[in-house]
Structure 1
Amino acid sequence: MAASLFSRLNRWISTFFTYVTATLLFVLMAVTCVDVTGRYFFNHPLFGGLELTEILLAGMVFFALPLVCAREENIVIDLMTMPQGKLRIAQNVLANIAGAVTAGVMSQQMWLRALRLDKAGETTIQIKIPLDMVAYTISGLLAVTAIAFLIRAFIPSPVPASPQVD
């Protein structure tokens, strides 16, 4: 029962992050297309296009990060290939805990940065988007990434066999 609930919740969260990331990518593509078309054909770029591009790119990256971590699709460099068994599991747990701590510290630091931006009332130059909202969102997504790492550490997926080298 609990495994089924966890599986459904995992699938729902994964679908949510996938759709949000895809939507941000589409909007980023549309903004870039309108900006370039306006710049080269009408000599009038999209007002605030650069700011929108920066914010959409950050949103896309940080919405994709928890998804990538949860699916174990991040880049892995095996400096020490452990044999199968308990050592391999320990290596996986320690690596995921290190990732969780790193993402957690980054989240906390980004939250502090957002507080400073909020206090200063910082906005983007052209279209006046509050920068603290962007920083708070990034901080929250980094916290979700830390949770994804912790889940991977303590509820590991089956470890694939090491590739054979000829």
Structure 2
Amino acid sequence: MENLLKSLSKALAGFACVVLLAVMLITFVDVVGRYFFNSPITFAVEMIQLGMGLLVLFGLAITTLDRGHIAVDVLDTVVPKFVQRIFAMLAALSAVVFITLVAWRLWDRGIKFYEDGLATDVLFLPVWPVVILMAVAASVAAFIALVQFFIPSIQGDTHPLAPDLED
């Protein structure tokens, strides 16, 4: 199971790298065209917007697998180990809930955009394929979070049932 999750998250991270490269290239060419040739790329803004959405969601799976989300551990030094354990489990559960909500809303929006025929303003590209790709990436991240909640030893340095939190 862990190998499957690693493979999925690494594949999505690889796609994120490709998207980042494309966004950087479009931005570079747009800036050079705008300031040196007075001829910007007309579709740059919409491509960068779509690319940034993909970039964030494609990176979500590997961030979730590595337990790299933001965590504030202000109270960890002043509460007993069993309370730390409860906090860790609540944090893991909240990750599952939040990422699942994001995935659900993306699926909903992707289907709605398909039905409405929503397209970009300049190139008239349909938006729904990008949103569906984002939904797939969020669904993978939600699955990883769910697996990590039930099998905390999968990846990451800190997990809800870490040995140092044992009583």
- Normalising by the smaller structure, the TM-score range is 0.7 to 0.9
Q: What is the CA RMSD across the aligned residues, in angstroms? A: 2.1
1:89 aligns with 2:85: yes
1:12 aligns with 2:7: yes
- 1:122 aligns with one of 118, 124, 127: 118
**What displacement does 1:135 show?**
1.9
Offset from partner CA, 1:12-64 (integer Å, 9 cap, x none): 22321221111111111111001111111111111311111111111101100
Question: TM-score when scaled to structure 2?
Answer: 0.82
**What displacement does 1:80 show?**
3.2
Q: What is the distance in 1 between the residues matched to 2:145 and 2:44?
A: 34
Q: Quick one: higher RCO (CA 8 Å, sep 6+), 1 or 2?
A: 2
8 Å contact from structure 1 (residues 94, 153) kept in 2: no
8 Å contact from structure 1 (residues 47, 126) kept in 2: yes
Q: What is the distance in 1 between the residues matched to 2:9 and 2:102?
A: 22
Can you give the 5+ residue segments of structure 1 that lack an aligned partner in the other structure?
Answer: 1-5
Distance 1:146 1:8, change over 3 A: closer
- 1:52 aligns with one of 47, 52, 68: 47
Q: What is the distance in 1 between the residues matched to 2:146 and 2:85?
A: 14
Which amino acid in the other structure matches residue 15 of structure 2? V
2:33 equivalent in structure 1:
38
Which amino acid in the other structure matches residue 28 of structure 2? C
Q: What is the distance in 2 between the residues matched to 1:43 and 1:128?
A: 24
2:75 counterpart SS class: coil
Q: What is the distance in 2 between the residues matched to 1:135 and 1:56?
A: 11
1:154 equivalent in structure 2:
150
1:63 aligns with 2:58: yes
Distance 1:153 1:19, change over 3 A: same
Distance 1:104 1:62, change over 3 A: same
**What displacement does 1:140 show?**
2.0
**What displacement does 1:129 show?**
1.6
Q: What is the distance in 2 between the residues matched to 1:115 and 1:27?
A: 26
1:105 aligns with 2:101: yes
Distance 1:115 1:7, change over 3 A: closer
**What displacement does 1:8 show?**
2.8
Number of residues of Structure 1 aligned to a counterpart in Structure 2: 156
Which amino acid in the other structure matches residue 113 of structure 1? R
**What displacement does 1:137 show?**
1.9
